[in-house]
Chains A and B, each alone.
Chain A
């Protein structure tokens, strides 16, 4: 088993005249805690969409654990072990919270006979009281927890958490961080995209900053924070 779990090579994606991702090359080591920061529109989510298969890049390759997944549909990549949460929560409305969790359980692994595992996951994120409620009745905070729980249900080898802490209270942020740390201890590689600086600084061992589709800094969090390019992007000249 090589050390690299995810490799992205010269990835490019344009939307009309806009280059959302402009030649990104990146390697993520197995078991790493990688943070990605950057202003809105810098291409972070598009990069993730290309990695997970939601969007087809114009150029470049995505290699997951040695396998070239560039041509695979998203559901196959999910089954290989990539899970992500969405920046804006996308619950499965029309079914209950419990059934929402059962979907990845049934499809990433195999159909479960009952809902035991699903209920365990719900209590992990504190949603067990809402198990039988329709997904559309959840508050925004609860939706974020559902997003995380759904990603956890897939038991991924690589978890991409896209702004999973936005809008959470301090103690809730701590809880989510604890969950992610535990996951990482169990061997899951975690890539975190966040705007909440103190959280991502605490969590990441390596930080990447993106701007207009390119990686402009890559290294230890403290070093990246002091990087003049990064300061310019966030604070101006």
Chain B
């Protein structure tokens, strides 16, 4: 997709999102849409470190949770507006990503992933013991009514999340096509060969981890306004870690479109399933889908599409 087409599409999407709250009467669209867009941000952000650079982060819950609680803290302490909460969350998430990258600097592969698993619990343990943000009891956040344009809070946070989704996709796309993306791909393929080709592997890894962490945190920041009540178990839920893996796996990790496809598909299926079937069956299906994809379609849907094209080509 050429850049000017992408920019045009992005502007169109944002314009639609801005207009929708005034014309669409059904509130459910915004409730469900928020979740879908949050998934897009999470999948895209995760893929920067996981898909492009090859460092599989199991601690997405830590970053989303940190974003949630950064927002709560800024709201409680400073009555900060939403955009400031998002910015603050990005800073904290970026720092956490930097820290995680630094701690696991020379570790790759399975060990890195195990280490990131630990991160979520370590961070949530700190939050659980911090009473200013509600500790284990949780915190209630009453979002102020948006003063202009937006008729209610949910359409306001919907638009905020839409903005973040477009922004994170744009960032991922830029990285993927730039020299940074090539360097990350080299690191993913062969760290030593990349170093000998002049790639500063450790620095690039830190960069990818920081960006990924910052964006993941921004997915959590609007959540307090959305739900009005947050508590550690759901903010740091392992579902975030699982979904962050599942979406790029389903959609494909090599390209920015993969996480988007995976996110929209997964959130769509989960929404439909929640309404129609009990939540346990829902989880069962997610688990079976994951196993199915890993066994049958390891490159995700994009990979399947690529193979289909190859089959269709005249030999």
Chain A residues close to B by CB (< 8 Å): 52-54, 73-75, 78-79, 83-84, 86, 90-95, 99, 102-104, 106-108, 111-112, 135, 150, 154
| B199 and A103 form a contact (CB under 8 A) | yes
Chain B residues close to A by CB (< 8 Å): 178-179, 182-183, 185-186, 188-190, 192-202, 254
| B196 and A93 form a contact (CB under 8 A) | no
The answer for the CA separation of A92 and B200 in the assembled complex, in Å, is 15
| CB-defined A-B contacts under 8 Å, sample of 6 | A75-B200, A94-B188, A95-B182, A99-B185, A107-B183, A107-B198
Residues of A within 8 A of B254 (CB): 94
Kindly identify which residue among A74, A112, A154 contacts B195, using a CB–CB cutoff of 8 Å: A74
| A54 and B192 form a contact (CB under 8 A) | yes
| B192 and A107 form a contact (CB under 8 A) | no
- 6 new A-B pairs (CB below 8 Å) besides A90-B189, A102-B182? A73-B195, A91-B190, A92-B194, A102-B179, A104-B197, A112-B179
Residues of A within 8 A of B189 (CB): 90-95, 135
The answer for the CA separation of A130 and B55 in the assembled complex, in Å, is 29
Q: Which 10 A-B pairs have the closest CB atoms?
A: A107-B198, A108-B198, A74-B195, A92-B189, A106-B179, A78-B198, A90-B193, A111-B179, A104-B197, A95-B185
The answer for the CA separation of A126 and B254 in the assembled complex, in Å, is 27
Residues of B within 8 A of A75 (CB): 194-201
| A54 and B196 form a contact (CB under 8 A) | yes
The answer for the CA separation of A102 and B195 in the assembled complex, in Å, is 14
The answer for the CA separation of A111 and B182 in the assembled complex, in Å, is 11
The answer for the CA separation of A86 and B178 in the assembled complex, in Å, is 26
By secondary structure, the B interface counts as helix
Nearest residue, chain B, Cβ from A104: B197
| A94 and B185 form a contact (CB under 8 A) | yes
Residues of B within 8 A of A86 (CB): 193, 196
Residues of A within 8 A of B202 (CB): 73
| B193 and A92 form a contact (CB under 8 A) | yes
Interface centre among A107, A111, A150 (most CB of B within 10 A): A107
The answer for the CA separation of A24 and B227 in the assembled complex, in Å, is 67
Residues of A within 8 A of B190 (CB): 90-93
| B186 and A52 form a contact (CB under 8 A) | no
Residues of B within 8 A of A112 (CB): 179
Residues of A within 8 A of B194 (CB): 75, 92, 103
For the complex formed, measure the closest distance between the CB of B285 and the CB atoms of chain A, giving whole angstroms.
Answer: 30
Residues of B within 8 A of A91 (CB): 189-190, 193
The answer for the CA separation of A91 and B178 in the assembled complex, in Å, is 19
| A90 and B192 form a contact (CB under 8 A) | yes
Residues of B within 8 A of A107 (CB): 179, 183, 197-200
Kindly identify which residue among A52, A95, A102 contacts B196, using a CB–CB cutoff of 8 Å: A52
Nearest residue, chain A, Cβ from B253: A94
| A103 and B183 form a contact (CB under 8 A) | yes
The answer for the CA separation of A74 and B202 in the assembled complex, in Å, is 11
Known contacts A92-B190, A94-B254; A106 and B196 CB within 8 A of each other: no
The answer for the CA separation of A189 and B189 in the assembled complex, in Å, is 29
Kindly identify which residue among A53, A79, A103, A111 contacts B186, using a CB–CB cutoff of 8 Å: A103
| B196 and A103 form a contact (CB under 8 A) | no
| B195 and A54 form a contact (CB under 8 A) | yes
Residues of A within 8 A of B192 (CB): 54, 74, 90
Residues of B within 8 A of A111 (CB): 178-179
For the complex formed, measure the closest distance between the CB of A99 and the CB atoms of chain B, giving whole angstroms.
Answer: 5
The answer for the CA separation of A102 and B198 in the assembled complex, in Å, is 11
For the complex formed, measure the closest distance between the CB of A73 and the CB atoms of chain B, giving whole angstroms.
Answer: 7
| A103 and B197 form a contact (CB under 8 A) | yes
The answer for the CA separation of A91 and B188 in the assembled complex, in Å, is 11
Known contacts A74-B192, A90-B192, A106-B179; A154 and B198 CB within 8 A of each other: yes
The answer for the CA separation of A91 and B192 in the assembled complex, in Å, is 11
The answer for the CA separation of A79 and B185 in the assembled complex, in Å, is 19
